[in-house]
Amino acid sequence: EPGKLVRQRVWTGSAPRDLNKFHRCPHVNGFKVDNWKQNLRVIYQCFVWSGSAETRKRKAKSCVCHMCGAHLNRLHSCLYCVFFACFAKKHIHEHAKSKRHNLAIDLLYGGIYCFMCQDYIYDKDMEQIAKEEQRKAWKMQGISASNTLCHVHCIGEKYSTWEPTKRELDLLRHNPKRRRITSNCTIGLRGLINLGNTCFMNCIVQALTHTPLLRDFFLSDRHKCEMQSNSCLVCEMSQLFQEFYSGHRSPHIPFRLLHLVWTHARHLAGYEQQDAHEFLIAALDVLHRHCKDDNGKKANNPNHCNCIIDQIFTGGLQSDVTCQVCHGVSTTIDPFWDISLDLPGSSTPFWPLSPGGDGSALNGESHTTGATTLTDCLRRFTRPEHLGSSAKIKCSGCHSYQESTKQLTMKKLPIVACFHLKRFEHSAKLRRKITTYVSFPLELDMTPFMASRPHNLSSLPVWNRYSLFAVVNHQGTLESGHYTTFIRQHKDQWFKCDDAIITKASIKDVLDSEGYLLFYHKQFLEYE
């Protein structure tokens, strides 16, 4: 829903989620006293859904911020007293802190926000009241259930969600062909035939087909193609997801995918061994170009695109260049699909790191063995770098060329963070593979590498935490090698995908692997 900030816990396996197992807000019970249901209904009737013309006039007149008088800025109402205030300007936060009123309701969408949990919350009883009052409001406005979605979409109020009826649920339960997802279910696991040095493609396909949000997108038929289906890579990916999750166990032959890749990324055409990282970027680029944004226009600019690829993979990299004379800072933000990290042993000098530095203990990595960690590589990537006298930049403050320092940080984190460990070194004098072992964690917190982060790292927010769900490995030399992938099917269940062969793997197998491409999925989603 546009304009509403939502944080959602993401399950990075294939099994369905049981909502009863999720942690619920413990602060709701303080509100559920006396006539709380009737009071909540009145708020929904008068200030949220406003079914009658009279209540809509009252809402327009009375719903203004009691601190600044603004009508907009995401107004919220305190659930304990009649107090309206801005969420964007944090006026409602000030009221909650001073009065110790922990719950407020979004007056546009009806969501309940808890200031103690610092998140929108779900409560079954409150949700039921919200739905009942919304239906009453729609009925008063003459909106039937059959045309609710169309009408509401047009007026820009709210998107309705589809829910199965009791009869539909009974039919599903008694359907003999119903697939039951269990902890040892193999649906989604399928090998890929090697068509001649195509392991580089197979390993990336395995990683993409096990990306949770990408899987949900394609399995819900969200792609509406306006191209010729035989030339659209997105259509082929949609078909590929159907094949993977069909329940068939025989290896799939991705010949149509290979043909489309050769057609749209000609530098990858042929049967020579290619780089898996290069294929990943080429595949995302073609998928991005073949997708449509919400306005139905070609999505040619990663900065202004709402296609599924950019929603999942695009982050923002902030570059701060600081003048050494006037200390003026020039900031630019560029989109990225992956982060390439230098390794010890390369010709690029590696930053000497002290054991136990920021982030290593936080991300569950240990320096006891002397191994380089993923956190080390990220600290090096985000460290300030002196550009030197040979790379002077014209300072807008000094109006002359001055020496400066440059620092890269994360301005916006993607839903899926892909880390490329630069194991292949190509230079005029040197062509070799770097086999340095890099320790990487199952869970990663990116807060220490953000452009703006809290001073006290011991009380970090959970919104920047990621879970590992795929690892691409390269075995062999620069001239002759083979790619395999570890993928996470369920929580703590890993499988090794070696072209057509899929075998069970342990967490130790995954973490002990060399690592070339590391795929992490955000644990909590935050979107407008």
Residues in the chain: 528
Using CA atoms, how far apart are residues 98 and 91, in angstroms rounded to an integer?
11
Whether the CB-CB separation of 419 and 374 falls below 8 Å is answered with yes
Q: Percentage helix, strand, coil, to 5, in the chain? A: 30, 25, 45
Among the listed residues 12, 3, 126, the one whose alpha carbon sits nearest the alpha carbon of residue 465: 12
Q: Which of 46, 114, 199, 235 is catalytic?
A: 199
CB 520 within 8 A of CB 417: yes
Dihedral of CA 39/44/48/52: which sign?
negative
Q: Is 252 a catalytic residue?
A: no
Q: Which residues contact 474 (CB under 8 A, 6 or more apart)?
A: 276, 423, 433, 481, 482, 483, 514, 516
Q: With contact defined as beta carbons under 8 Å apart, do 340 and 306 qualify?
A: no
Rounded alpha-carbon distances, angstroms, from residue 470 to 205, 236, 362, 416, 520? 11, 22, 21, 11, 7
The distance between the two most distant Cα atoms of the chain, rounded to a whole number of Å, is 79
H or E element, residue 378? helix 374-381
327 catalytic, yes or no? no
3-state secondary structure of 263: helix
CB-CB contact of 77 with 62 (8 Å): no
Crossing angle, helix 199-209 and helix 255-264, to 10 degrees?
100
Active-site positions read: 199, 482
